[in-house]
Amino acid sequence: MTVTILVAEDEPLMRERLLGMLALAWPDAQVIAAVDNGLDAWDAYLEHAPRVVFLDIRMPGLSGLEVAERIGRQAHVVFVTAYDQYAVDAFDAGAVDYLLKPIQPGRLDKALARLREKLDSQPMDVSAVVRQVKAASPAPAHEKLKWLKASVGKQIRLIDVEEVLFFQADTKYTRVVLEGSEALVRIPLKDLLGGLDPDRFWQIHRGTVVKVTAIRAAERIDAERMQVLLRGSSEMLPVSRSFTYLFRE
Q: Give the closest residue to 22 by CA, choosing from 108, 82, 115.
A: 108
Contacts of 16 (CB under 8 A, 6+ apart): none
Those residues of the chain that have pLDDT short of 70 are 83-87, 90, 93-95, 136-143, 249
Which pLDDT value is given to residue 75?
94
The overall pTM is greater than 0.75: no
Cα–Cα distance between 33 and 51 in angstroms, integer?
12
Give the per-residue pLDDT at 143.
Answer: 61
Estimate to the nearest angstrom the gap between the alpha carbon of 3 and the chain centroid. Answer: 23
pLDDT given for residue 136 in this prediction: 66
- Residue 84 is predicted with a pLDDT of 66
Q: Which amino acid is at 89?
A: D
Ordered structural domains, the chain, with CATH: 4-136 (3.40.50.2300), 147-247 (2.40.50.1020)
Distances in Å between the Cα of 224 and the Cα atoms of 109, 160, 204, 207 are: 38, 35, 14, 18
HEC readout, 38-86: HHHHHHHHHHHCCCEEEEECCCCCCCHHHHHHHHCCCCEEEEEECCCHH
The predicted structure's pLDDT at residue 33: 96
Cα–Cα distance for residue pair 23/77, rounded to 1 Å: 18
pLDDT for the residue numbered 111: 92
Residues in CB range of 212: below 8 A, 6 or more apart: 199, 200, 201, 202
Distance of alpha carbon 9 from alpha carbon 64, whole angstroms: 9
User: What one-letter code names the amino acid at 71?
Assistant: I
Q: What pLDDT sits at residue 205?
A: 92
Residue 112 has a pLDDT of 95
